[in-house]
Structure 1
């Protein structure tokens, strides 16, 4: 191999290592961003939470879509902050809301400015009996929640931001009785859009579901070994039981 060929090979290797290093740094930055999101909503810092989003970002949550900077603030500040913390931007006595961010799988896209991620949250929440109010969401209670994120991120001026927060709550359970006794639609889905509902979503999502209904939240990536789309069979209830009996 000539000197010029060796130099060209080394330059190509350095370029590839630089690309791979950039991808790993992007993954770490996105992980930090998502984990920070969890810490901020833990402590009801809703203004700071809204600032994590792109200007054209959106939140897909509980069967609704809140669009753009105005929609994101309507959800976190106008809806959550006013309901949960009486308008206070920060934690209040007697209200617990913990959101661990777990099992994140991050895929930076070839353009280097878009990324997709799947992650999980396991929320512990409740309101102490000495701090309850007169609205349903202010009553004394303690509950669990588990959900899946399938999020999109964008790098804006060199900084990663949340572009689409697609959070699918999967199950809830009262602490006292557990998930075997969870009532359907434990948290009511939005029924009206903004402005009919002043803090409602801009659009409703069809086919939203909660435990005890149980479906697969679609993966944004194929199976890493087979390359095939990851698809689950849909349970057919009594019909499936009869087929199994033969």
Structure 2
């Protein structure tokens, strides 16, 4: 092998290593974002880890809660919450005084990473038990998360969380009796 052939081979290998390194970083970023969302859901379901939950958001984060239908969202705090303190007030309502059980089940992750920024979409199905003056009520909620993330000091954080309800309905009624997106 000549010096020129050796240099060409080394150059090709270096380019391959750089490409593989970038692909590995992208996969690692996607997995870190999946873990971030799973951690968010876990803290939310614990009903008692508000400080840890808030540490997942940037200081200037925004949380937008909307409802696709026009029925079935009683008690849901729709609106835009800007900044950590506003988001804290929203999420602090998911506590053992208001709920006795909560399971945020997220699926179908679609994540795109662009350097230090990323977008992610998940479907949520959430059975929970609301504690009401009339007693416990089993509820189904379903909707879509469509979030923005930013990498700060090597760590992915939530910068914009959008949640759009498709339905929120008592278990006994089910979603067939509830107005949903597109109906």
- Report TM bin, short chain: 0.7 to 0.9
Partner of 2:69: none
- Write 1 or 2 for the structure with the bigger share of strand: 2
Question: 1:151-203 CA deviation, whole Å, 9 max, x = no partner?
Answer: 11111100111111111111122211222222xxxxxxxxxxxxxxxxxxxxx
1:146 is paired with a residue whose SS is strand
TM-score of the superposed pair, with normalisation by structure 1: 0.63
Partner of 1:69: 84
Partner of 1:106: 111
Conserved in 2, the CA contact under 8 Å of 1:118 and 1:148? yes
Name the CA distance, whole Å, in 2 between partners of 1:103 and 1:213: 20
Cα distance, 1:133 vs structure 2: 5.2
Which residues in structure 2 correspond to 1:157-196 (within 5 Å)? 157-182=153-178
User: Which 10-residue stretch deviates more, 13-22 or 57-66?
Assistant: 57-66
Partner of 2:61: 57
The reply on whether 1:47 has 2:51 as its aligned counterpart is yes
Name the CA distance, whole Å, in 1 between partners of 2:96 and 2:59: 25
Match of 1:150 among 133, 142, 146: 146
Partner of 1:214: 181
Question: 1:203-234 CA deviation, whole Å, 9 max, x = no partner?
Answer: xxxxxxxxx2414xxxxxxxxxxxxxxxxxxx
Conserved in 1, the CA contact under 8 Å of 2:167 and 2:180? no
The reply on whether 1:116 has 2:83 as its aligned counterpart is no
Deviation above 6 Å: which 4+ runs of structure 1?
A: none
> Which consecutive residues of structure 1, in runs of 5 or more, have no partner in the other structure?
87-91, 183-211, 216-234, 236-246
Name the CA distance, whole Å, in 1 between partners of 2:180 and 2:90: 26
Conserved in 1, the CA contact under 8 Å of 2:108 and 2:123? yes
Partner of 1:29: 32
**Please, what is the CA RMSD of the aligned residues?**
2.0
1:140 is paired with a residue whose SS is strand
User: Which 10-residue stretch deviates more, 149-158 or 67-76?
Assistant: 67-76
Partner of 2:96: 85
Name the CA distance, whole Å, in 2 between partners of 1:122 and 1:56: 27
Aligned length: 168
Larger RCO of the pair (alpha carbons < 8 Å, separation 6+): 2
2:35 is paired with a residue whose SS is helix
Conserved in 1, the CA contact under 8 Å of 2:142 and 2:166? yes
Name the CA distance, whole Å, in 1 between partners of 2:127 and 2:132: 20
